[in-house]
């Protein structure tokens, strides 16, 4: 291999490594999704194929999610569905955009609210585990966020995808603020378990560091529709939007 080309490859590889291990990771991580039903569900005769069909029909399932990070903002492309979500740190809200039936619907979640806390008055327990798990040849630690209704297991490696936890200090939803405060980095795998129903896993399969355009986090104009909010929810509201 010519020396100049070899030198260029080494420089590029070093740049990518340094970017992925910088204090604030900027770039994209792709996760592949899977799920397993609880023994209670399978004993009742429910199969994985039937559940998958139901989840897809209700716009609740994607085979993969690619999340792009910049500063405290996050943009997630939800598989090949044409749906996406945006977390904006300035509003501390999560905007999820989907076509449901014939309407373009945006679900807006207040990331400062833990839903179970609004019902029980108790915040989830944060449980760091001593377990080391190999995920895609990466040695990962585990932090468990435990609610009465289930758990989130966040797997991470402190040398991979570092971020400043202060960027997410108000993101209470899903135990994200507590996880990032303890880990100082982004997750390599997440397992969400709803007690007695199912476990959903998100496992990293690809990552790419690089500059991200701020326009990616732009929120389309939202229109209020009272019919979408007939049942008030403490942490979310629904709107209509025009696709860009």
What tens digit of pLDDT does each residue of 137-160 get?
999 999 999 999 999 999 999 999
Confidence of residue 106 (pLDDT cuts 50, 70, 90): very high
Contact 204, 154 (CB under 8 A): no
Q: What's the rounded mean pLDDT across residues 26-53?
A: 96
Residue 144 has a pLDDT of 98
Q: Which of 26, 29, 67, 20 is nearest to 161 (CA)?
A: 20
Model confidence at 223: pLDDT above 50: yes
Model confidence at 132: pLDDT above 70: yes
What share of the chain has pLDDT > 70, as a percent?
91
Q: Which of 60, 68, 102 is nearest to 88 (CA)?
A: 68
Q: Which residues contact 38 (CB under 8 A, 6 or more apart)?
A: 195, 196, 197, 198, 199
Residue 59 has a pLDDT of 83
Euclidean distance between CA atoms 192 and 202, whole angstroms: 8
Q: What is the mean pLDDT of the chain?
A: 90
Euclidean distance between CA atoms 141 and 125, whole angstroms: 17
Residue 15 has a pLDDT of 36
Q: What's the rounded mean pLDDT across residues 213-228?
A: 95
Confidence of residue 72 (pLDDT cuts 50, 70, 90): very high
Model confidence at 197: pLDDT above 70: yes
The token pair that represents 142 in the structure block: 């585990």
Q: What's the rounded mean pLDDT across residues 21-34?
A: 88
Euclidean distance between CA atoms 123 and 118, whole angstroms: 9
Element (H, E) at 20: helix 3-20
* pTM for the model: 0.87
Euclidean distance between CA atoms 47 and 73, whole angstroms: 37
Euclidean distance between CA atoms 233 and 217, whole angstroms: 25
Model confidence at 211: pLDDT above 90: yes
Number of domains comprising the chain: 1
Which three-class secondary structure state does DSSP give residue 184?
coil
User: Which residues in 47-83 are b (16+ Cβ under 10 Å) and which e?
Assistant: eeeebeeeeeeebebbebbbbbbbebbbbbbbbeeeb
Q: Which residues contact 149 (CB under 8 A, 6 or more apart)?
A: 116, 194, 195
Residue 80 has a pLDDT of 87
Model confidence at 11: pLDDT above 70: no
92 secondary structure, DSSP code: T
> pLDDT higher for 184 or 17?
184
Residue 218's domain spans which residues? 3-241
Euclidean distance between CA atoms 87 and 60, whole angstroms: 18
Q: What's the rounded mean pLDDT across residues 184-196?
A: 97
Q: What's the rounded mean pLDDT across residues 6-30?
A: 56
Confidence of residue 4 (pLDDT cuts 50, 70, 90): very low
- Phi and psi (nearest 5°) for 141? -90, 170
Q: Which of 156, 192, 117 is nearest to 25 (CA)?
A: 156
Q: What's the rounded mean pLDDT across residues 181-199?
A: 97
């Amino acid at each position: 291999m010519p020396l100049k080309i070899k030198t260029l490859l080494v420089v590029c590889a070093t740049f990518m490594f340094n970017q992925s291990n910088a204090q604030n990771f900027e770039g994209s991580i792709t996760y592949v999704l899977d799920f397993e039903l609880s023994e209670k569900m399978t004993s009742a005769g429910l199969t994985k194929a039937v559940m998958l069909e139901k989840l897809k029909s209700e716009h609740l399932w994607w085979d993969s999610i690619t999340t792009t990070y910049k500063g405290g903002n996050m943009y997630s492309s939800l598989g090949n569905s044409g749906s996406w979500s945006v977390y904006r740190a300035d509003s501390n809200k999560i905007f999820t955009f989907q076509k449901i039936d014939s309407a373009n619907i945006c679900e807006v979640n207040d990331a400062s609210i833990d839903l179970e806390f609004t019902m029980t008055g108790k915040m989830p327990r944060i449980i760091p585990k001593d377990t080391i798990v190999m995920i895609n040849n990466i040695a990962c630690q585990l932090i468990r966020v435990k609610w009465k209704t289930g758990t989130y297991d966040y797997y991470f490696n402190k040398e991979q995808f570092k971020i400043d936890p202060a960027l997410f200090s108000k993101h209470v939803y899903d135990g994200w603020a507590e996880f990032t405060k303890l880990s100082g980095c982004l997750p390599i795998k997440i397992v969400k378990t709803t007690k007695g129903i199912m476990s959903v896993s998100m496992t990293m399969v690809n990552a790419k560091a690089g500059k991200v355009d701020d326009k990616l986090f732009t929120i389309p104009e939202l229109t209020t529709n009272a019919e979408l909010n007939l049942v008030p929810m403490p942490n979310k509201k629904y709107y209509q939007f025009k696709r860009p």
